[in-house]
Structure 1
Amino acid sequence: MQRKSGVLRAIAVIVSLALPTVLAVSAADARIGGGFSSGSRGSRTFSAPPSTSTAPGTASPFNRTLTQPGYNGGSGFNSPARSRFGGGMLGGLAAGFLGAGLLGLLFGGGLFSGLSGFGSILGLILQIVLIVFLARMAMAWWQRRNQPAYAGATPPGGQQSFSSSMGFGGFGGSSSAPLQIQPADYEAFERLLGEIQAAWSNEDVGRLRLLTTPEMASYFERDLEQNQARGVVNKVSGTKLLQGDLAEAWREGDADYATVAMRFSLVDKTVERASGRVVEGSDQPQQVTEIWTFLRHPGSNWQLSAIQQAN
């Protein structure tokens, strides 16, 4: 019985470590960013950007970010110590299992007490997922309740059509934005959309480092390394902007930020390096809507600072 109990405890630990990874991979897409919300938006990293006609819903919270809660500066890339358990679902589940273990110790049952059967393990996992889900809902409600009314947000009925060479009328903006986004800026955003996707498809790390912040470049490099380890390469082509809206634009210190919602089409497929066989995706174009944040320092060009998924 003791040996059986030890095996069950070992299974519980393995499940606690493996489940978050499985969840993350199953929810990920192959294109750049992997379908995650990654990066930083300065002091607004933990505030949801205003919705737009392109992305009328909400933006997903960041799964990967180096910005810590309470950050007030605006210098772009920063690297404070990260949480021991990381962020997102991984942090929630790891903390949940730690909590379960501590409760077992407090009540005299030992670490991971109550995990005496596979059904109990599944029940505990479901409870933890539910608690994480409710906690995220509460945090999102609290952020919305305390989010200031940014001047860069588009007022109801006040969205303007921005005429440019971009598809479907280009971006819509707000004339009340404290940081004025000019036609050349919108053209830069569209150009970066295509150039970053092309650099990703070509696995051009040097180019990605020029077009994105060091934080975003580190995520992309890590994702490329994972593809190499799997023996596959993600090929993205035919990127075309269909619609875009300025969500907000602001200045922090000497840094300019602009968050835009973009709906675009692209061909996204993953192929084996050795054979060229398509293992994910297809040659058929698909449409994607994401919220991209760009960062610019004085005398420098715009760089990609964050990608968020649209809900």
Structure 2
Amino acid sequence: MLRRLSRYSGLVAALAIGLALSLAAIDVAEARRASGGFGSRGSRTFDTPSVTRTAPSDASPINRTMTQQNSAQPQRNAGQQQAQRPGLFGGFGRTLFGGLLLGGLFGMLLGGGFGGMMGFLGMLLQIALIVGLGMLLMRFLANRRQSSAYAAGGNMQREAYAGAGGNKPGFQIPSMGSGTAATARTTKPVTQDIQLSPADLDRFEALLSEIQSAYGREDYPTLRRLSTPEAMSYLAEELGDNATNGVRNTVSDVKLLQGDISEAWREGPVEYATLAMRYSSIDALVDRTTGKVVDGDAVNPSETVELWTFVRKSGGDWLLSAIQSA
């Protein structure tokens, strides 16, 4: 037995190391996606901005926002999830079978195998038993779901009859989350495309430089004056993380190299403008104590392509509302 264990110990160790590396790769990928866009684009927050010459590929989605996503889509998804019933090896059945199969494989590696001394015939008998139990379990659960659905349908029919001419009054106050109020929440507000003036474009270029420079100086009052409260909260969060890590993000010599209007629209009294901007800047992370460069280049400029969204109310000033990487 000890010889068998030593024979397969290398294989088991390799499988364990491969699993650990795959989990680490997933964590790194999740971390990269979490650093995407932030802020709000009004009703278009979860829509992909139109591509431009400056940003010919899709922008990263906004994954940090206070905007509530349209509830119509989650409701459709919930209906689809109810309609798609798991099959024989779905849900609990798949987990049970997978666990037993994995246990059998490790048993084979360690010398026991499926069924021990019964060999291949024992393995087939065990698999047949597992399949039979899984089918019985799935049929039992399906019958329970079907009975619940019939009961719910009967209750709905009885309530509809009572509301039409039974004991309940014909007119009722809709409950929370139903009626016309819910329909209004799931409907996007009407938007209207607008034209931007050369003065607006000049202001966007100035805001790019002012906000980046204020970010590099950790100038909270200026950032608060030039951005919405939501965008400011995310900028302050990033600056706070830098301080916690003992670094500072220095940004200087910001120059707009190319810019395109992706979208410009109005929602009621509020106007939005999303622009793709390619700019150069001297951007580096430095140690807060020693001033040593931790990441980036503190001498040579680098180029960046991002999509910035600005917002203003009628007669007001443009404010930074969202930033997405391209």
- Consecutive unaligned residues of structure 2, counting only runs of 5 or more, are 1-18, 75-89, 106-189
Listed as ranges, the matches of 1:22-61 within 5 Å are: 22-23=28-29, 25=31, 36-61=36-61
Corresponding residue number in structure 2 for 1:270: 285
Corresponding residue number in structure 2 for 1:194: 209
The number of residue pairs the alignment matches comes to 211
Corresponding residue number in structure 2 for 1:212: 227
Q: 2:266 aligns with which of 239, 247, 251?
A: 251
RMSD: 3.7
Q: 1:238 to 1:20 in 2, by over 3 A?
A: farther
**Are residue 309 (structure 1) and residue 315 (structure 2) matched?**
no
* Kept in 1: contact 2:191–2:266 (CA 8 A): no
Task: Give the distance between the partners of 2:66 and 2:93, measured in 1 at CA.
Answer: 34
Q: 1:105 to 1:204 in 2, by over 3 A?
A: farther
Deviations, residues 29-78 of structure 1 (Å, cap 9, x unaligned): xxxxx6x2111111111221211111122212112122222289xxxxxx
* Kept in 2: contact 1:241–1:263 (CA 8 A): yes
Farther off after superposition, 179-188 or 56-65: 56-65
Listed as ranges, the matches of 1:75-224 within 5 Å are: 109=96, 178-224=193-239
Corresponding residue number in structure 2 for 1:297: 313
SS at match of 1:63: strand
TM-score (norm 1): 0.58
SS at match of 2:241: helix
Offset of 1:23 from its aligned partner? Answer: 3.3
- Consecutive unaligned residues of structure 1, counting only runs of 5 or more, are 1-11, 29-33, 73-82, 84-102, 118-149, 153-177
Task: Give the distance between the partners of 1:188 and 1:20, measured in 2 at CA.
Answer: 41
Q: Which amino acid aligns with 1:60?
A: S
Q: Percent identity?
A: 47
Q: 1:261 aligns with which of 276, 280, 291?
A: 276
Offset of 1:234 from its aligned partner? Answer: 0.5
* Kept in 2: contact 1:42–1:71 (CA 8 A): no
Q: 1:51 to 1:272 in 2, by over 3 A?
A: same
Q: 1:244 to 1:258 in 2, by over 3 A?
A: same
Q: 1:53 to 1:61 in 2, by over 3 A?
A: same
**Are residue 235 (structure 1) and residue 250 (structure 2) matched?**
yes
Task: Give the distance between the partners of 2:95 and 2:56, measured in 1 at CA.
Answer: 51
Deviations, residues 72-116 of structure 1 (Å, cap 9, x unaligned): 9xxxxxxxxxx9xxxxxxxxxxxxxxxxxxx77565749x99998
TM-score (norm 2): 0.56
SS at match of 2:69: coil
Q: 1:297 to 1:109 in 2, by over 3 A?
A: same
SS at match of 2:63: coil
Q: Which amino acid aligns with 1:229?
A: T
Task: Give the distance between the partners of 1:71 and 1:187, measured in 2 at CA.
Answer: 37
Large movers: runs of 4+ above 4 Å: 18-21, 24-28, 103-110, 112-117
Offset of 1:194 from its aligned partner? Answer: 0.5
* Kept in 2: contact 1:104–1:113 (CA 8 A): no
Larger Rg, first or second structure (1 or 2): 2
Q: Which amino acid aligns with 1:286?
A: S
* Kept in 2: contact 1:245–1:260 (CA 8 A): yes
Task: Give the distance between the partners of 2:65 and 2:285, measured in 1 at CA.
Answer: 26
Corresponding residue number in structure 2 for 1:65: 65
Task: Give the distance between the partners of 2:215 and 2:101, measured in 1 at CA.
Answer: 47
Task: Give the distance between the partners of 1:185 and 1:290, measured in 2 at CA.
Answer: 18
Q: Which amino acid aligns with 1:257?
A: Y
Structure with greater helix percent: 2
Task: Give the distance between the partners of 1:280 and 1:291, measured in 2 at CA.
Answer: 23
Offset of 1:19 from its aligned partner? Answer: 6.7
Q: Which amino acid aligns with 2:319?
A: Q
